[in-house]
Amino acid sequence: MASAAPAAAGRGGLAIALVALAAAASAALLFVALPSPVVAAAFFAGVLALGVSLALTGRGSGATAAAGVGEPALDLALLRAALDASAEPAAVTDLDGRLIAANEGAADLLDGDFSGAIEAARRDGSATLERDGRTVELRRAGAGGDRLVWRFTRSEAPDAAAEARALTAGGPGDRFGAAGIMTALVDAAGNLLAANRAFLARAFLESETAPQGAPLIDLLALGEDGRISFAREGKEAGALRLVQISSGAAEGEGPILFFLLDELGTVGGSSGANLNALVEILPIGLALVDRDGRFLYLNGAFRRAAGLSRNAAPAWPSDLVVDEDKAAVADQVRRFARGPTMSGDIAVRLKARPEEPVALTVAGARGLGEAAVLLSMKDNSEEDRLKRQVAQATKMQAVGQLAGGVAHDFNNILTAIIGHCDLMLMRHAPGDSDYDDIQQIRSNSNRAASLTRQLLAFSRQQTLRPQVLQLPDVIAEVSTLLKRLLGEHVALQVKHGRSLGAVRADPGQLEQVIVNLAVNGRDAILAKDPNGSGTLTLHTFSVSAEDVRRMGSEILPIADYTALRVSDTGTGIPPNLLPKIFEPFFTTKEVGKGTGLGLSTVYGIVKQSGGFVFAESKPGEGTSFTLYFPVHRAEAPAKAPRKKQTAGELWGTGTILLVEDEATVRAVAERALTRNGYTVLTAENGEAALEILGRETGIDLMISDVVMPTMDGPTTAREARKTHPDLPILFISGYAEEQLRASIDLDRVAFLAKPFSVQALAEAARDALAMKASAAP
């Protein structure tokens, strides 16, 4: 017998766990079918109390042995009770519409074709339609989303008294009894109106008949310790827990429904240790308050939501909120502690997070020992953080699209300015009075072009030339420039980790990232102490997939990375400004000392290279930017030697079709190509280009813009290839080449980024024609 005790204890613990899971699943389905948190909570408490009681007391050998087998039946019984609890028809089916359970009113309503609604619910999670004067609502439910809950509702409000009577009479009451829940319906005077068989079996002798109108108080006894029991069972009777649910009528009117459960102990008390443990692990914050408004019990989720430490012991609910909300909270608790069993929400600001209001649910509690009020609060900190991240990402994406569009249009203007400068320089020799002025215009245009490249970098729409490289090599290339930029007051430290993996990025753009971060760090150091000194540190290190997993980042995917951390000892960035630092044109520098595009360029280049960038800062101590680049596993391709071209080789022959909707760019490109020996036909859009291709012969090359009205460049190219399959195509655009390659799958296609010079256009045209010649048999 002694050896059987551990086994029995293990089975009891397993039974408790299974009952808790079944209770939670039943309550969840009940809440979907009958969205009443009070009833759902009552079901959960009742099933949990009964199941734990059975597990602890071990009523019969069959009860313990069937714990693992009986739970589905228990769940189904509660499900049927939940459906019958609704005055409106309700049912549960599988995802194909096969009936699992339904109340009396729903079986007939399920006849008919609901295939469209079922398919919509399977796809979207819910569906609604009107049928025979009722609103039919379907929702996916269940642990795996493998059930459909059907609700048929009318516009008129249900009869609360009829709903309450349905919970006690006939089939619903018997199902409650099978689950160990006794139900009794009494009128406003406390006289019994109806009860289920489980209640009648405990309250009356078998030879007695339940008298209509018997006072409920006469059927119950109050012990010296304050416990309630059935009067018929005598002094040895087990304690009962009463859960009172009003029908929703005004106080003192309408019937009242009672759920009677065998008492297992008070939540928060020593006698309910098992129940305390279960309530403690619930994800919903729960707290109990006595009639005087003092805390009796707080579970872990409530402490986290309220910003309390594990050892904190607040006396009053008002101690959790700011001074302005104390009176409102105290009044709400006092009102629900002494009034009817109702519930309500109140928006409060916690002392731990006064900037963000939270919803505090206050409900009157009965049958929970000394507890008179139940408080509920959800920890929304993680949800709020995710909302802020989504809002920030959405804003960055919108600003990026705007920046990319502005840069594209500005590139068209710069292409015309630079092209006209090149054409004028062909007519002026060095030393002419206008030569220096033209050169100055061209130089300023190139500076403006660099700004547009930064905007495109932020919007991840610039053209990159990625290579497989090592970060230490890139730092070595730029270190000499960095020392000159930092000056004599700022020291440069470079640290390289071991076993660094190769990354794939544009080395020129990566150097730009390092320079931008270094210049920002230098300015922060000098702002802290113009006459002092500081240190800028570049540190490369490897990050394995296991390291990423331990970091627990929700942004960084689990993979191997090579990281670069750029740290300074400057002023640091205030926490309220840290989320804005990657926005374009945002700067904390004085007017005229920064464009606000440095960090936005860093952000765009890193993201377009497939990497991630994070910033950490402590005001007064410095800032660190950490860049993570995925390790590139493929071998680096051998670099093909570039053939040197001479200026004389820019001259060419042939007929070129130029398609460009911007008149100034079209004019410059036409003159540039004509001066280099080509015959040029121009079209202002794709339709005009196709018309020219239909009537002209001998066209050797088509140069086309990418973004044009009515018909864009890729569409024009595809249509042109239908009649001229061997026609080479050169695209010119202010957007990234990667975007073009993703939208077109044609061969013999070249790309030239705007703004371009006359010489660059001539070289691109020559190379595209050479591609045609090499492809010829």
Enter the pTM of the model. 0.38
CB-count burial class (<10 Å; 0-12, 13-18, 19+) for 681? middle
Half-sphere exposure of 669 (CA within 13 A, CB side): 37
Q: Where are the alpha helices (DSSP H) in 215-311?
A: 216-219, 273-280, 300-306
Percent of the chain with pLDDT over 70: 69
What value does the mean pLDDT of the chain take?
Answer: 76
Q: What band does 481 get if pLDDT is binned at 50, 70 and 90?
A: confident
- DSSP output for 90-143: EEEEETT--EEEE-TTHHHHT-S--HHHHHHHHHHSEEEEEETTEEEEEEEEST
**What is the average per-residue pLDDT within 753-770?**
85
CA distance 195 to 64: 29
pLDDT, tens digit, for every residue of 730-758?
Answer: 988 876 666 666 667 777 788 888 888 88
Q: End-to-end alpha-carbon separation of the chain, Å?
A: 95
Q: Specify the pLDDT at position 589.
A: 62
pLDDT of residue 110: 79
pLDDT tens column, 89-104? 888 888 888 888 888 7
Helices (H), 228-311: 273-280, 300-306
pLDDT-derived band at 403 (thresholds 50, 70, 90) equals low
Give the C-alpha separation, 274 to 189, whole Å. 37
> In whole angstroms, what is the distance from residue 93 CA to residue 101 CA?
7
Q: How confident is the model at residue 658 (pLDDT cuts 50, 70, 90)?
A: very high
pLDDT in tens, 555-595: 889 999 999 999 999 888 888 888 878 776 667 666 555 55
Q: What is the pLDDT of residue 675?
A: 86
User: Are the C-beta atoms of residues 705 and 662 closer than 8 Å to each other?
Assistant: yes
Q: Which helix (H) or strand (E) holds 492?
A: strand 490-496
Q: What is the pLDDT of residues 415-463, one digit of tens each?
A: 888 888 888 888 877 877 788 888 888 888 877 776 666 555 555 455 5
Strand spans (E) along 554-685: 561-568, 612-618, 622-630, 655-659, 679-683
Give the residue among 617, 503, 531, 619 at the shortest CA–CA distance from 566.
617
- 511 token code pair: 């150097």
Q: Could you tell me the two tokens for 532?
A: 């002092």
What's the chain's Rg over C-alpha atoms?
A: 38
Residue 367, phi-psi category: left (phi > 0), alpha (psi -120 to 50), beta (remainder):
left
